[in-house]
Chains A and B, each alone.
Chain A
Amino acid sequence: MPRREGIYGLLAEFNTPSELVFATEQARAAGYRRMECYTPYPVEEAAEALHFHKNRVPLLCLLGGLMGVTTAFLMETWISVWAYPLNIAGRPLFSWPAFIIPAYEWTILFSGLSAGFGMIALNGLPQLYHPLFNSPNFRNGATTDKFFLCLEAVDPKFSPTETRAFLERFHAVSVVEVDH
Chain B
Amino acid sequence: MATKVPINDPMIDPRTGEYAVIAPGHNFKSVTQKIAGLVLTANTPLGWFFGMIVAGGVASLVLVALTWLFLKGTGIWGVTMPGAWGFAIINFVWWIGIGHAGTLISAILLLFKQTWRNSINRFAEAMTIFAVVCAGMFPLIHVGRPWVSYWLFPYPNTMNVWPNWRSPLAWDVFAVSTYATISVVFWYIGMIPDFGTLRDRAQLPFAKYFYGILSLGWRGSTRHWIRYETASLLLAGLSTPLVLSVHTVISFDFAVAALAGWHTTIFPPYFVAGAVYSGFAMVLTLAIPIRKFYHVEDLVTLRHLDNMAKVMLATGSIVAYGYGMEVFMAWYSASHWEFFMMWNRMFGPMWWGYWLLILTNIAIPLTTLWSRKLRVNVGYLFILSFIVNIGMWFERFVIVVTSLYREYLPSSWGTYKATKWDYMTFIGTWGLFTFLFLLFVRFLPMIPMSEIRMMLPQTKITRGGPTADTTSEEMT
Chain A residues at the B interface, C-beta cutoff of 8 Å: 15-19, 21-22, 26, 36-47, 50, 52, 55, 57-58, 61, 72, 75-76, 79-80, 83-84, 86, 88, 91, 95, 98-99, 101-102, 104-106, 108-109, 111-113, 115-120, 122-123, 125-130, 132-133, 138-140, 142-145, 170-171
Contact = CB atoms under 8 A, between A and B. Distances in A.
A17 B457 CA distance: 12
Contact of B219 (A98, A115, A133, A145): A133
B189 A119 contact: yes
B15 interface: no
B163 to A, nearest CB: 7
Contact of A36 (B189, B222, B465): B222
Interface stretch (B127-135, B411-419, B447-455): B447-455
B454 A16 contact: no
A84 B161 contact: yes
A41 B154 CA distance: 42
Nearest to B166: A98
Nearest to A39: B220
A4 to B, nearest CB: 17
A21 B201 CA distance: 26
* Max chain A C-beta neighbours (<10 A), residue from B161, B197, B460, B466: B466
Count class of interface residues, chain B: 35 or more
Interface string B328-363: 000000000000000000000000000000000000
Contacts of B200: 139-140, 142-144
A83 B235 contact: no
Interface in B20-51: 27-29, 32
* Max chain B C-beta neighbours (<10 A), residue from A21, A91, A102, A111: A102
Contacts of A19: 465-466, 469, 472
A33 B418 CA distance: 70
A40 B221 CA distance: 9
Given A88-B166, A109-B178, A21 B461 contact: yes
A32 to B, nearest CB: 14
B213 interface: yes
A113 B242 CA distance: 13
Given A40-B453, A43-B222, A109 B181 contact: yes
Interface of B: 27-29, 32, 154, 160-166, 170-171, 174-175, 177-178, 181-182, 185-186, 189, 192-193, 196-197, 199-201, 212-213, 216-231, 234-235, 238-239, 241-242, 245, 249, 252, 450-451, 453-454, 458-466, 468-469, 471-472, 475-476
A58 B165 contact: no
Contacts of A102: 165, 170-171, 174
Contact of B201 (A43, A44, A144): A144
B172 to A, nearest CB: 10
B229 A42 contact: yes
B238 to A, nearest CB: 5
Contacts of A22: 463-466
Contacts of B468: 18
Contact of A142 (B186, B213, B219, B241): B219
17 contacts: A18-B463, A19-B469, A40-B28, A42-B228, A84-B161, A88-B166, A101-B245, A112-B186, A116-B185, A122-B227, A125-B217, A130-B217, A138-B219, A140-B200, A144-B32, A145-B29, A170-B466
Contact of A17 (B165, B461, B464): B461
Q: Closest 5 A-B residue pairs measured CB to CB? A: A145-B28, A119-B231, A126-B216, A42-B225, A84-B162
Main secondary structure of the interface of A (DSSP, over half): helix
A55 B230 contact: yes
Nearest to B473: A15
Given A18-B468, A18-B469, A91-B166, A36 B245 contact: no
Contacts of B469: 16, 18-19
Contacts of A132: 219
B32 A145 contact: yes
Nearest to B462: A18
A97 to B, nearest CB: 9
Contacts of A44: 226
Contacts of B242: 105, 108, 112
A40 B212 contact: no
A44 to B, nearest CB: 7
Contact of A116 (B235, B249, B453): B235
Given A112-B235, A128-B212, A144-B197, A79 B219 contact: no
Contact of B223 (A36, A99, A117): A36
Contact of A105 (B154, B175, B192): B175
A147 B41 CA distance: 26
Contacts of B32: 40, 144-145
